[in-house]
Every structure is written in C-alpha cells, then in structure tokens.
C-alpha cells in the first residue's frame, strides 16, 4: 500500500476514534447476524443505519467519507479496540459521567445553529432525544477507543535516524504544506466596573431571595441561568469529580451543606448561585444559576485603550512581546508560552485557511514581525480585546526535513503507532468473533476480517 493511502487510512481511523460510537449491551453469538446489522465485533454491534448516521455526522465535521470501505474498516478497527478496552481493568468506566455531559454537548452544538430544527435537519436526526443519545454513544466509544489506543501506543517512539529513513522513503508522497503563519497574541478580557458587578450580584441575590420564599431552584435556573450546558436541566450537574470545575465554583460548592445555597460567587465565567445537591466521596452533584459578566461598550473601550498602551511599549522596545504576554495576557493557554498560538496538532505553524475569520482579517497585509492594531473579538460567547504579532509567514511548499523536521517526525511516529495498533488487532483477531454484512463483500480491507467470522 502506498504512503498516501496509508496516511489516508490513518486519518480515517483517527476520525472514527474521535467521532464514531454505537454500543449495545446485547450479547451475540456466532451466526446471529441479522438484517440491518453492518458488523459485529465481539459483542459490539454496528447497525447499517448507524453507519449512515455517522457518515452524515462526519460530513458535517468536514471529513471525507466517500470511500465506504475505508470508512467501514476504520469503524471495525475502532470497535475491536472498544471491545478490548471494556475488558481492560486498568481503564476506568466513565459511562455515568459521559451520559451527564451529553446534554451539555448537545446545547453547545445547538448554539452554532439558528434553531433546533435546522440543527436536527443538518445532522439528519429526527428528535433531540435521538441526537443526545447518539452524542452519548459517540463519546462513550470515543473514550474507550482513545484509551485503548493510548495504552497500545504508549511506548511508541522514533529515533532521528528513523525520521530520516521515513522521509527518504516517502519524500515524494508526502503532502504539500499550504500557506502558513506563526502567530503570538495578547488577549485581555474587559473588566466590569464595580457598579456593573453590583447590578449582577443584586440580581442574583433577588433570585436567591425568591427561592427562599418558595420558588424552586430548578425553575429559576431554567428562567435566568445563562449556562447553555445546564440551564435546560434546572442548572444540574451530576457526578462532578473534584478538580473538574473552576476553583471558585468548587470551593463554594463543597463548603455548602446539602440543599444549602451559596451567596453570589465570581468565576471567570461570571457570577453563580450554587446549590449543593449531594456529596459522596470524591464526587458531588450541584445546581447553579450563572449570570455572565458581559462587558458594556464603555468597559470594552477602556480595555482597548489599556492594550493599545501595552502595544506601544512593545513597538518602542520598552518591553518584549513575550514579557507583555506573561504580564498582561488573560489567555491561560498562551501567556506562559510567549503568547504563541498553536494548532490542534500542537504546532505553532497554522494554515491560513484554518485561522479564525477575525484573526485572518486582522493580519491581512501585515508582514513578518509586525503587530496588529487592537481589535475586538468574541470567543465562546466571551468578549475580548487582542493584538497579534506575525512571527513568521511560511509559503506553500513540499515538506522538507531541514525545515519541517518536527512535522515529519510526528508523521513517522503516527505511522509507528498505526503499525502497533495493526499488530495488536491481528493478534487479537483470531480470538474475537467478527462478522461483516455481505453488503461489504466487495471491499478490499487492509486486514482480513473475514478470517475471524467464525470466531476461531
């Protein structure tokens, strides 16, 4: 198999690990394959309708699923990992926590659409309940698949010589790098005035008073809470592990008695009323009502003026960008790293096409070493002001080991990991029942899954 096809298979498998999931507790025996079932791996079932639903979901996420055989083989491989993961006593069962997060994820996706019907139509689900169930299954399989994948490939590594060999072997098959940039940023969240804070706190105190006078916490959360992940559920979060929530929230919640309601609590997300529902060992259930700290025009203008002064200090060489990011940036992900923005793969080189529209617009026309003017942006419903420095501009080019060593090393490592997973699958295959519907009989799979059809 050539390198391009192998890389494509790795990408398909990675996508499936990230998004696919249909699980059932039904126990099947060899010969139990029925119409509507695409495949069975151990006691993990993949339905034909689920494959179609997942293909629709994948398309919405921008994945290429045109090759049904490659997509299906990725699903089957992942199901084998999931089947083995559930039998692995070193992998924690997190089904309960995943179930609780399904509604929150549903609401996050909903926020990207004008209304619920548009979202359901786009993802081809009939009802909200059907989509929430699918999200839960996706996350469950994603968790088990990723955990097993990580356990198998934990010790994977490549030496510099192996990276060089990889490059020499596949140099003419490696993809071309598109136009990229390397950027640093300083982000500041506009601060609310004391008067504005007092208004929000007074509103929460009035809500608390209404609850104490007979209104239910659940109904008030549905009416007033601005947390999309819990408002529809009466503000409830269940099975919260210690350390999961931001520190001010957790400290306040765990200092309450069951049923007790806190005074307004400030966090990076805004102001909360918190009610401790239940506490058991390292887990607890809590309800909250969140009022976001949304800055007004005057507060945003003040932040812009402050950041513009910092920009002037940098330009006049009275302070480096790195020093300014460490001292003033509110972005925890970049302030300790000289403000450097990294992509999903951890690299500081980001394709221009993948930049957020606001940043892409702001850096247009700028050259290497320049800093944008202060601009306003909203990320995850939070207002911010920012400046961006263009550290480097990389024109489209063929991957080369002298300039792209870290990226080529990662590709070589991914190949090594893929080989380890393939070896693991082949070792386990003779001992696991696998059955694939005849709809896929014309597929040429990388692994001969049909040898395991009898379970021998």
387 Cβ partners below 8 Å, 6+ apart?
185, 186, 307, 310, 311, 371, 372, 373, 374, 375
Contact yes or no for 308/300 (Cβ under 8 A): no
Averaged pLDDT for residues 116-145: 87
What are the structure tokens assigned to 395, written together? Answer: 């024109």
For the segment 91-101, what is each residue's pLDDT rounded down to a tens digit?
988 887 888 78
Phi, psi values for residue 337, rounded to 5°: -125, 40
Query: How far is Cα 378 from Cα 16, in angstroms, rounded to an integer?
Result: 31
For the segment 267-317, what is each residue's pLDDT rounded down to a tens digit?
988 999 999 999 988 889 999 999 999 999 999 999 999 999 999 999 999
Residue 305: per-residue pLDDT: 97
Averaged pLDDT for residues 233-258: 90
| N residues, the chain | 456
Query: How far is Cα 175 from Cα 33, in angstroms, rounded to an integer?
Result: 41
Residue 273: per-residue pLDDT: 97
- Can you list the domains of the chain with their CATH numbers? 3-169+401-452 (1.10.4030), 176-191+296-398 (3.10.50.40), 194-291 (3.10.50.40)
DSSP strand pairing (176-177 vs 270-280): unpaired
Query: How far is Cα 2 from Cα 4, in angstroms, rounded to an integer?
Result: 6
Distance of CA 221 to the CA centre of its chain: 26
| Residue matched to tokens 């009802």 | 127
CB-based burial, 174-198: b 16+ in 10 Å, e otherwise: beebeebbbbbbbbbbbebeeebee
Alpha helices in 213-288 (DSSP H): 217-224, 247-254
What are the structure tokens assigned to 157, written together? Answer: 């590594």
Nearest to 339 by CA among 357, 319, 358: 319
Query: How far is Cα 295 from Cα 301, in angstroms, rounded to an integer?
Result: 10
Contact yes or no for 48/36 (Cβ under 8 A): yes
Q: Is the pLDDT score of 456 beyond 70? A: no
Please provide the average confidence, as pLDDT, over all residues in the chain.
Answer: 87
Residue 370: per-residue pLDDT: 97
Stronger pLDDT, 453 or 380, i.e. the higher one: 380
Query: How far is Cα 39 from Cα 443, in angstroms, rounded to an integer?
Result: 13
Lowest mean pLDDT among 90-99, 164-173, 250-259, 386-395: 90-99
Q: Is the pLDDT score of 18 beyond 80? A: no
Averaged pLDDT for residues 364-386: 93
Contact yes or no for 246/268 (Cβ under 8 A): yes
Residue 1: per-residue pLDDT: 44
Contact yes or no for 23/141 (Cβ under 8 A): yes
Q: Is the pLDDT score of 4 beyond 70? A: no
Averaged pLDDT for residues 52-70: 77
Count of CA atoms in the C-beta half-sphere (13 A) of 159 = 3
Predicted TM-score (pTM) of this structure: 0.66
Residue 14: per-residue pLDDT: 43
pLDDT band at 5 (very low <50, low <70, confident <90, very high): very low
Q: Is the pLDDT score of 249 beyond 80? A: yes
Query: How far is Cα 2 from Cα 172, in angstroms, rounded to an integer?
Result: 11
Contact yes or no for 88/150 (Cβ under 8 A): no
For the segment 161-209, what is each residue's pLDDT rounded down to a tens digit?
999 999 999 999 998 889 999 999 999 999 999 999 999 999 999 999 9
Residue 452: per-residue pLDDT: 59
What are the structure tokens assigned to 73, written together? Answer: 């083989």
Residue 64: per-residue pLDDT: 76
Averaged pLDDT for residues 140-148: 91
Contact yes or no for 184/363 (Cβ under 8 A): no
Query: How far is Cα 130 from Cα 121, in angstroms, rounded to an integer?
Result: 12
Residue 125: per-residue pLDDT: 86
Most trustworthy range by pLDDT among 22-26, 96-100, 126-130? 126-130
């Amino acid at each position: 198999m050539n390198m391009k096809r192998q890389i494509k298979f790795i990408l398909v498998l990675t996508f499936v690990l990230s998004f696919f999931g249909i699980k059932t507790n039904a126990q099947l025996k060899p010969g139990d394959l029925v119409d509507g079932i695409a495949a069975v791996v151990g006691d993990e079932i993949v339905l034909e309708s689920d494959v179609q639903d997942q293909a629709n979901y994948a398309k919405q996420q921008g994945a290429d699923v045109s090759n049904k055989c490659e997509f299906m083989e990725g699903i089957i491989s992942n199901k084998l990992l999931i089947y083995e993961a559930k039998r692995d006593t070193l992998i924690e069962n997190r089904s309960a926590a995943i179930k609780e997060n399904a509604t929150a994820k549903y609401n996050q996706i909903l926020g990207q659409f004008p209304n619920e019907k548009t979202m359901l139509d786009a993802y081809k689900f009939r009802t909200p309940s059907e989509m929430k169930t699918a999200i839960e299954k996706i996350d469950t399989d994603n968790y088990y698949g990723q955990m097993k994948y990580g356990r198998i490939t934990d010790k994977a590594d490549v030496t510099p010589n192996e990276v060089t060999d990889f490059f020499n072997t596949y140099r003419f098959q490696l993809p071309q790098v598109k136009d990229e940039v390397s950027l640093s940023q300083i982000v500041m969240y506009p601060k609310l005035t004391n008067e504005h804070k007092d208004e929000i706190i007074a509103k929460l105190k009035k809500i608390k008073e209404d609850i104490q006078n007979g209104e239910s916490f659940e109904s008030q959360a549905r009416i007033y809470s601005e947390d999309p992940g819990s408002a529809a559920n009466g503000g409830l979060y269940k099975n919260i592990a210690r350390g999961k929530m931001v520190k001010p929230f957790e400290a306040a919640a765990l200092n309450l008695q069951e049923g007790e309601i806190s005074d307004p609590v400030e966090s990076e997300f805004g102001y909360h009323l918190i009610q401790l529902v239940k506490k058991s060992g390292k887990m607890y259930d809590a309800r909250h009502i969140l009022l976001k700290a949304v800055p007004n025009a005057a507060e945003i203008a003040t932040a812009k003026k402050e950041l513009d002064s910092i920009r002037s200090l940098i330009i006049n060489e009275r302070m480096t960008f790195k020093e300014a990011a460490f001292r003033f940036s509110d972005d925890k992900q970049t302030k300790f790293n000289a403000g450097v923005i990294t992509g999903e793969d951890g690299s500081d080189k980001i394709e221009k096409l993948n930049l957020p529209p606001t940043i892409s617009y702001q850096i247009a026309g700028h050259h290497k070493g320049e800093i944008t003017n202060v601009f306003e942006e909203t990320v995850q419903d939070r207002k911010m002001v920012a400046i961006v420095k263009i550290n480097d501009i990389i024109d489209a080019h063929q991957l080369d080991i002298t300039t792209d060593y870290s990226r080529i090393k990662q590709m070589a490592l991914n190949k090594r990991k893929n080989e380890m997973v393939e070896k693991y699958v082949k070792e386990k295959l003779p001992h696991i029942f696998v059955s694939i519907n005849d709809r896929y009989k014309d597929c040429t799979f990388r692994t001969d899954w049909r040898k395991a059809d009898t379970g021998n």
